[in-house]
Amino acid sequence: MAADQDTVDTVAALAGEKYAHGFVTDIEQEFAERGLNTDVIRFISAKKDEPQWLLDWRLEAYERWLALDEPDWARVHYPKIDYQDLYYYAAPKQKAGPQSLDEVDPELLATYAKLGIPLKEQAFLAGVQGSPRYAVDAVFDSVSVVTTFKAELAKAGVIFCPLSEAVREHPELVRKYLGSVVPVSDNYFACLNSAVFSEGSFVYVPPGVRCPMELSTYFRINALNTGQFERTLIIADAGSYVSYLEGCTAPMRDENQLHAAVVELVALDDAEIKYSTVQNWYPGDAEGKGGIYNFVTKRADCRGARSKVSWTQVETGSAITWKYPSCILRGDGSSGEFYSIAITNGRQQADTGTKMIHLGANTRSRIIAKGISAGHSSSTYRGLVSVHPKATGARNFTQCDSLLIGKTCAAHTVPYVEARNANAQLEHEATTTRLSEEQLFYVMQRGLSQEEAVQLLVNGFVREVLQELPMEFAVEAQKLVAVSLEGSVG
């Protein structure tokens, strides 16, 4: 069925047509030389004061990258990227290592204020009682500008800092875990990232610690012709819990910009990581000019027994999205979740989904993906659920729904299922009415129509996920809740 007018309006207001974060910050920046070669990699490594092992690691990744081919299996089309025509490093010029906010360039602070990202700790400490607090690592092009609440987090034993700082301060942790979830030559873009990654966040939560506040990273691309290659590494030690959020924006430009990130999560015994993304990179204009190419590798390794990783993503931006946050369910009894809302408009193309690899016994996974396409855009859900012979008792539930608004857009669903254990239970659903007949019946006998009932139930479910996000993120994402699921196709 076609979407109703409300839905059309909501989506139109949401995506593409009004991009509020499209301004450029005019700030003096320094760049690596244009193009990619071993000198540029040495330059990046030297800028970050890296040890020899990491430089070697980068150079080896570069060698391997040269031998790889760009993947072409995703349902996205874009002109060939000239990897020699990019800057791989850009950083605002500033005095070395600002110790406090006072030393950060006011122009940068203004940028974040304009984006609505609070970098002042006291703003929250003195705020309304009970208002949520969260620590922010603000990444501007290739460097981290500031990380807030570090001291308070340190009291709990939590390490939260830019990755380059972690390389210096906690080399043993970085060396142990970096590349252990996403190997260097995992795929073309991850390999490129391994060679030139610039900044990202590092989180370590010690055994038994429940991280006292939400952690977040705000990625901002500012410089022209610059790729952003962040790398995030999160380790939740036995019995710990951490919730992490990321947000992304970029200026409106006519050129396409490349963003190739790698995110690695490691959850040990009984640990839980909740990872949320509100991706709002510049999607390009209505004719498809400009916008970010978002080629991201995100993977979680549920290494420990009963560990849990939950991915939540709200994808509204980027000209091209190529992104499959995945869970390797290695530990017995571990579980993975993937909740996704992907909205495409204009000429956007999104090929996104997840992989749930069940290796351990009694592992569980749940996939809920909602794709909404409008304008001339195309949205693809691509997912894999794989159950290995030792994963006795594995359970999976997958539901992916798509909504098309208008006659010129496209929605695709490409789920792969591989089952190699006779005591596994896998379900892939595509119809909304199957969500829960009982709940539907209950709501409908209260006088709501089926459509209203489905909306209410799904919105209720989505809201439950969104409530986990802090205020700024939730407000942005909340608008999506209004999008009805009427006319969903599998």
Shortest reach from residue 24's CB to another protein, in Å: 36
Question: Of the two residues 163 and 454, which places its CB atom closer to another protein in the complex?
Answer: 454
Shortest reach from residue 376's CB to another protein, in Å: 11
Shortest reach from residue 399's CB to another protein, in Å: 10
In sequence order, the β-bridge partners of residue 403 are 372
Shortest reach from residue 210's CB to another protein, in Å: 36
Question: Of the two residues 425 and 449, which places its CB atom closer to another protein in the complex?
Answer: 425
Distance CA 390, CA 335 (A): 15
The residues, ordered by sequence, that sit 6+ positions from 162 with a Cβ below 8 Å of its Cβ are 137, 139, 143, 144, 147, 199, 200, 201, 202
Helix (H) or strand (E) holding 464: helix 450-466
Question: Of the two residues 265 and 403, which places its CB atom closer to another protein in the complex?
Answer: 403
Q: Could you tell me if 286 and 346 are in contact, meaning their C-beta atoms sit under 8 angstroms apart? A: yes
In sequence order, the β-bridge partners of residue 416 are 384
Shortest reach from residue 202's CB to another protein, in Å: 37
Strands 272-279 and 308-315: parallel
One-letter amino acid identity for 256?
A: N
Question: Of the two residues 37 and 431, which places its CB atom closer to another protein in the complex?
Answer: 431
Q: Could you tell me if 343 and 14 are in contact, meaning their C-beta atoms sit under 8 angstroms apart? A: yes
Question: Of the two residues 256 and 432, which places its CB atom closer to another protein in the complex?
Answer: 432
Question: Of the two residues 98 and 490, which places its CB atom closer to another protein in the complex?
Answer: 490
Distance CA 483, CA 393 (A): 36
Shortest reach from residue 413's CB to another protein, in Å: 4
Tell me which residue of 412, 366, 356 sits closest to 387, measured CA to CA: 356
For 418, the token pair is 């591989």
Shortest reach from residue 169's CB to another protein, in Å: 44
Shortest reach from residue 488's CB to another protein, in Å: 9
Question: Of the two residues 12 and 414, which places its CB atom closer to another protein in the complex?
Answer: 414
In sequence order, the β-bridge partners of residue 128 are none
The residues, ordered by sequence, that sit 6+ positions from 322 with a Cβ below 8 Å of its Cβ are 71, 74, 76, 189, 293, 294, 295, 296, 351, 352
Which burial class, exposed, middle or buried, applies to 389 when counting CB atoms under 10 A from its CB (0-12, 13-18, 19+)? exposed
Question: Of the two residues 170 and 390, which places its CB atom closer to another protein in the complex?
Answer: 390
Which burial class, exposed, middle or buried, applies to 101 when counting CB atoms under 10 A from its CB (0-12, 13-18, 19+)? middle
Question: Of the two residues 106 and 389, which places its CB atom closer to another protein in the complex?
Answer: 389
The residues, ordered by sequence, that sit 6+ positions from 206 with a Cβ below 8 Å of its Cβ are 157, 158, 237, 240
Shortest reach from residue 415's CB to another protein, in Å: 7
Q: Where do contacts with another protein occur on this chain (CB under 8 A)?
A: 1-3, 73, 389, 402, 404-431, 434, 487, 489-490
Shortest reach from residue 9's CB to another protein, in Å: 16
The secondary structure of the chain in percent helix, strand, coil, rounded to multiples of 5, reads 25, 35, 40
Question: Of the two residues 231 and 358, which places its CB atom closer to another protein in the complex?
Answer: 358
Question: Of the two residues 92 and 375, which places its CB atom closer to another protein in the complex?
Answer: 375
Tell me which residue of 476, 191, 438, 186 sits closest to 316, measured CA to CA: 476
Shortest reach from residue 428's CB to another protein, in Å: 4
